Structures are given as C-alpha cells and as structure tokens.
Amino acid sequence: MATESTTAPIVGVPPAPSIESLNEQLNNFGISEPLPVFPDSNPTSNPIDVYRCYIAHVLAPITGVDIKLVYPALEWTQSLEKGDLILAAPRLRIPGRNGSDLTKEWAAKFPENPYVHPPTAAGTFLQFYFRKDVLSKLVLSSILGRKSAYGPIDTGKGKRVIVEFSSPNIAKPFHAGHLRSTIIGGFLSNLYESCGWEVIRMNYLGDWGKQFGILGVGYKRFGSEEKLLADPINHLFEVYVAINKIAEQEKEVEKVKAEEKGEKQVCPGLRTAYWLLLKAMEYRGTKGDKRQISNGLTDEEALEFFFKMEHGDEECIAMWKRFRELSIEKYKATYSRLNISYDDYSGESQVSKESMEKAGKMMKEMGISSESEGAIVVDFKPHAKKLGKAVVQKKDGTTLYLTRDIGAAMERYEKYKFDKMIYVVACQQDLHLQQLFMILKLLKLDWADRLTHVNFGMVLGMSSRRGTVVFLDDILADARDKMHEVMRKNEEKYKQVEDPEMVADVVGRTAVMIQDMSGKRINNYTFDMARMTSFEGDTGPYLQYAHSRLCSIQRKAGIPAENLLNADFSLLTEDHATNLIRCLAQYPDVLQNTLKTLEPTTVVTYLFKMTHLLSSSYDVLRVVGEEPKLSTARMALYESARQVLNNGMRLLGLTPVERM
C-alpha cells in the first residue's frame, strides 16, 4: 500500500509556548532557576537558545563583555569532538590578553549547572558539552509538542514579501531556467511563510509582444479549438512553431528574389520600424508609401495583429485573453503537482502605460536618462561603470523589458507596500536586474533597497524523451516513468505497493526537485535522470524511503502517540541517540541560517545528514521487542525524527509518502 503523508503544511507560525510555560517545564526537569531571556533569543521556539541564554548570562560577568556580544559568539561546532557549542575568545575583542589564557580563566570560573558539563579550554576556544538528559527532554518535548510548527521562528510577523518566480513565456517551451526558478521560488515562499511573513507568490508571465502577433496569425491558419481546450500550452507552441517556419521560408524566398534582381535587401530591423511607422500614420489617418517595403506576408500580418492588440482591437484582444487564460489554467494544474499556487498571475501585459510614462518622466526630470540618437538611455558610468548603458525607450517610442520592469516594480509597491521583493531569475539576467535596481535607487524610491535578486546557474543536458522541446509536464512525466522502471526492478516490493503509479509520480517529482536543490543554486548542474531516480546516494527517492521507513516503525511498534510525550527520555543514553537528538536540535538554526543565505541546499544537506544518522541507528536503537519503557522512549525519538524530516520535506515543496 502507498499513501501520502497527511500532515498539514505549515502556514505561518503558531504561537510558541510562553516563557512562563518554558520555565515551568524546566522546573519539571529539576531546573528551578528561571531562564534569562534576551531580545534576539527564541528559547520557546528553539531549544538550543535555552543553552545560549544560560551560557551567555553566566559568561557575561565572567568575561566582562556585554551579553549582546557574548550571545551571538556561541556557535555550533562541526563535530561533537569539539563540543556542542563553542566560543572563540577573539570574537569578544578583549585587548591585550592572550586568547588561550582567557579561555582557561573562564573555564575555571564557570559554575556547576544542570545544562552543560564544565567547559573545556582548547587553545583560544571554549568548548561546551550539553548534558544528555536535559538535552533529550528539551528537544524531544519541543518537537512532539509543536509538531509541524517545530523549526520556524516567527521573525516576520507583520511583514510582507513578494516572491516573483517561474514566469514562463506563454506559447513557448517551459525551459530549464523556468524549472529552477519554479522550484527555488516555491521553496523560498514556503520558508518566508513558515517564519511568519505574509507571502505574495507572483508569476510574471511573458504574455505580450510581437510573438503574440505571430501566434494570432498562426492560430487563424492552424489552430484547433479541440486541441486548444485539451492542451493549450502544447497546442499554442505547435502553432507558434508552424507559423514561424512559414515566416522563415517566406523571408528566404524574398531574399532569393532580391538577389536575382540584384537588389540590396533592406535591414529587417529598419524595415520593421518603417512598417510600424506607416501603420501609425494609417492609424492617425495619414497616408504612407509602402513601396518596396515587404516583410513577407506572414511577418506583416503578425506585426499588424500585434499593432491592433496595442491599440485595443476587440477581436485581437479577445483572442489574446483567451490564450492567456487557458494557459494560466493549465499552468495552475501543473504547478499544483509541485505543491505550488500563486496569489498573482501578473505579466508584461499588465504593466500600465501610465506607470511607464511616470517612470520615464521622473528619470528625465532627475537627469537619470538622456536622449541618444533618438532613443532614451540611462548611462550608469557615473554610478557603476560595470553596468554600462541601458536603453529604456526605442527611437520609435516603444518600451523595452527594462521599462516594463521599472513600471511593474512601482505598481507592485503601490499595491502591496511590500517589505521585501525577491526576483528568482537566472544568473544570465544579473546585469538586467542590477540595472533595474540601480535605476530605482537613482529615482530615490525609499523602497528600492528592499529588492533582492536570487539567481541560479544553468541545467545542462536536459531534454524530454519526447524530443528536445521541454515543458514542465514532460519533465515530470519522464521522472514518473523512470521511477516506475526503477520500482519494477524489485518485483517482490513492487507487488506490495497498492498504487505504484501514484508512488512513482510523487517520488519522481521528489527526484527532480531534490536534484535541483542539492547544490548551491549559482552552480550549473547536469540533469541526470538515472542518478536522481536512484535509491542510492543523496537523492529524492532516498529521502522518501527514509520517511516511509520511520512511518513503518511507528506502525509496527503500535505505541499510541499520546504516550510518547510522557516517555522517559533519560533512557536514551546511547551515542547514536545523542547524536540524532543533537541533529534534531539544529533544525531551527538551519532555517534561520537559510533565511540569510536563501540557499535550498542548506535544508537539503541537513535532511541528508539526519537521515544518515537514522540509517546508522536502526540496528542499535531497536523498538520492537524491547522493554516497554525503552521502546516508548526510542519510538519518541524516531517520531521526532519523522516529524522534522516531514517538516523539512514540506518546506522544500515535497509530499512525504508514508508507505512505499
């Protein structure tokens, strides 16, 4: 049998226990002294902050250093041999004293206490080791009590963030860059939302431009109502390819004819500009001379179609709206498979002419832009030489992508009054985003410094089994099929799976997403279907297997969930148990660090580290067949691990499975 995990994803952060209830809990652990709390600490949400608060409170008078400097200087170590927390003496900036001498003095003065063993001086470092009994009680009771809310800390209450991600072009392939943007943007949205931010998920579609003129003409010739309703994105792309092929053939014929006559061809760009000028003259009621200006029949029709769109032609706009709406509905169904939904399907078409004109006027009045050979440009050399120059308005008065982005940013702030806006866009657009951000700063908009570009590298070697054109549905279908092949190799286990298609689909999606998030996002990676669908190594299927195995242990043990919170955690004395608890305790810090780095791999790496610890613990920490109290304590540990793994997977946008 195969089922998906039913634990609900986190939406915001439920209130953490009060400091009073935490002190009451500590009192039950035999710690009567109230815990000191500091402004930047979160001991009610993060068990390790209990230790930081206590150690900083004790060390401040011993070192003579302000507690605000001591608290952040307490850091995790890379290995348990160096302690649980470590403090580097140089971090406290005490002049004229040898760091090694200082740590020895501090270690000697540190009092006996229930939280940590006497600290160890190791050169300029002071090492702190947690006492096992308090650690297990604090961490496991926190996880079992908070469940899906364990990990995130409410740092974003009352704040709003826009995350713009995915942003495919309608009627064009959903390429690798869109895949990465979708996966990374979905994760970042979940991360901010889990930490209390109000998140506006925005999809800024490529839904305007001459390509829609080409598409409109193509649909009139090759469109099928039946195919459009069945699969709008693929059908529109088929139409787009077919009409473009004809347009290219017409241009070749025109070129040959011109060569035969010995005529010099007009530059296509100049010809297009002149054609648009003639159309504008017609629109204003002025006659123009079209002699010797031929773009080829299809190209002319496309330009005319888009020209009509720009001037509000009802028939053309109605067709464009229909293409857009049908595409969005199809996108919604596809995105839902990745556990993604959007609050705002925006696009280039939605940016108002008024906003762009307002931005243009401001740039001119503030001396940011100037005229150059008929076009309006921004010269960044006085501000940032590496940004060069950017055109914000063409000679014919038309706008560019940069112009529309300026207008869009201004409209978004007016509508949402965001505290942060994140653009999840490939690194190929680094210069474009730098120019956009600089223009907004030069316009002296007080929200310009709230913008962040989260960039990423390329996916290499990605193509669909069905051909070189890649749509997101094709990628997910291929992953599902490949996962199905892998599952069939073990006939005995395959027969036990009630719904192999569903499992293959869920685990296939996991495989694609984990491969994408495993490395630093700026790095390129090679799309490797065989590797990512393997159960060996750090892969998505391995994570799903780890989760389903923990669920299996829970079912076989048959211990009621309500018994776990009352388990005797002091029985968890083995090193395997301590190492796993220590790892579970790190999860809130991992999320806080991820908010700084905006790197999905921070969470992915942590989850693999935890599952490796789990894998090495199963033979040592058996549940079934052990003494009841010990079984309950170990089951509480495994359930805590399952909860954290489930929380982390859902944060990444995955759907954990309970049976495989």
Give per-residue pLDDT as tens, 238-251.
Answer: 999 899 889 888 88
Which residues pair with residue 88 across a beta bridge?
A: 125
Of 97, 130, 163, which residue is a domain's last?
130
Judged on CB neighbours under 10 Å (0-12, 13-18, 19+), 111 is exposed
Q: Is residue 78 part of a domain?
A: yes
Q: Is residue 271 part of a domain?
A: no
- Report the CATH number that the domain containing residue 97 is assigned in CATH: 3.30.1360.70
655 band by pLDDT with thresholds 50, 70 and 90: very high
Q: pTM here? A: 0.89
Q: Is residue 593 part of a domain?
A: yes
Q: Is residue 613 part of a domain?
A: yes
What are the strands, taking DSSP E only, across 18-81?
A: 74-76
Cβ atoms within 10 Å, residue 645: 23
Of 132, 137, 175, 482, the active-site residue reads 175
Contact 254, 261 (CB under 8 A): no
- The range of the structural domain enclosing residue 47 comes to 19-130
Model pLDDT, residue 175: 73
Contact 189, 651 (CB under 8 A): no
Query: How many domains, in total, are found in the chain?
Result: 2
Of 130, 162, 182, which residue is a domain's last?
130
- Report the CATH number that the domain containing residue 633 is assigned in CATH: 1.10.730.10
Q: Is the pLDDT of residue 290 over 60?
A: no
Model pLDDT, residue 272: 52
3-state secondary structure 293-319: CCCCHHHHHHHHHHHHHHCCCHHHHHH
Sign of CA dihedral 236, 242, 245, 246: negative
Write the CA distances from 632 to 273, 329, 530, 622, 637, integer angstroms: 77, 48, 40, 11, 9
Sheet of 198-205, strand order: 344-347, 198-205, 160-164, 420-424, 451-454
Model pLDDT, residue 463: 63
Cβ atoms within 10 Å, residue 400: 16
Name the one residue in this structure whose structure tokens are 């052990």.
626
Q: Is residue 360 part of a domain?
A: no
Of 68, 82, 104, 172, the active-site residue reads 172
Indicate the angle between helix axes 575-585 and 628-651, nearest 10 degrees: 30
Instruction: Say how far apart CA 13 and CA 28 lie, in whole Å.
Output: 26
Instruction: Say how far apart CA 324 and CA 203 lie, in whole Å.
Output: 13
| 36-67 per-residue burial string, b: 16 or more CB within 10 A, e: under 16 | ebbeebbbbbbbbbbbbbbbbbbbbeebebeb
Q: Is residue 410 part of a domain?
A: no
The candidate with the shortest Cα–Cα distance to 409, out of 395, 423, 398, is 423
Model pLDDT, residue 275: 47
Of 132, 137, 178, 547, the active-site residue reads 178
Q: Is the pLDDT of residue 269 over 80?
A: no
Give the Cα-Cα-Cα angle 241, 247, 253 (nearest 5 degrees).
140
Q: Is the pLDDT of residue 293 over 50?
A: no
Question: To the nearest whole number, what is the mean pLDDT of the chain?
Answer: 89
What is the tens place of the pLDDT at every residue in 405-423?
999 999 999 999 999 999 9
Instruction: Say how far apart CA 342 and CA 255 lie, in whole Å.
Output: 46
Residue 80 in tokens: 């348990």
Q: What is the dihedral of CA 195, 198, 203, 209, to 10 degrees?
A: -130
Residue 149 in tokens: 């809310």
Instruction: Say how far apart CA 118 and CA 112 lie, in whole Å.
Output: 7
The average pLDDT across 98-111 equals 97
Contact 149, 194 (CB under 8 A): no
Model pLDDT, residue 605: 98
> Is the model more confident about 56 or about 12?
56
First CA to last CA across the chain, in angstroms? 7
The average pLDDT across 98-119 equals 96
What is the tens place of the pLDDT at every residue in 500-541?
999 999 999 999 999 999 999 999 999 999 999 999 999 999
Q: Is the pLDDT of residue 64 over 60?
A: yes
* 235 part of the active site: no
Q: Is residue 387 part of a domain?
A: no
Q: Is residue 211 part of a domain?
A: no
Sign of CA dihedral 268, 269, 272, 273: negative
Residue 525 in 3-state DSSP?
A: strand
DSSP 3-state percent helix, strand, coil across the chain (nearest 5): 55, 10, 35
Judged on CB neighbours under 10 Å (0-12, 13-18, 19+), 282 is middle
Of 76, 103, 130, which residue is a domain's last?
130
Judged on CB neighbours under 10 Å (0-12, 13-18, 19+), 537 is exposed
Lowest mean pLDDT across 42-56, 217-231, 264-278: 264-278
Cβ atoms within 10 Å, residue 139: 27
For residue 51, what is the enclosing H or E element?
Answer: helix 47-63
* 358 part of the active site: no
* 175 part of the active site: yes
Model pLDDT, residue 286: 40
The candidate with the shortest Cα–Cα distance to 343, out of 192, 533, 516, is 192
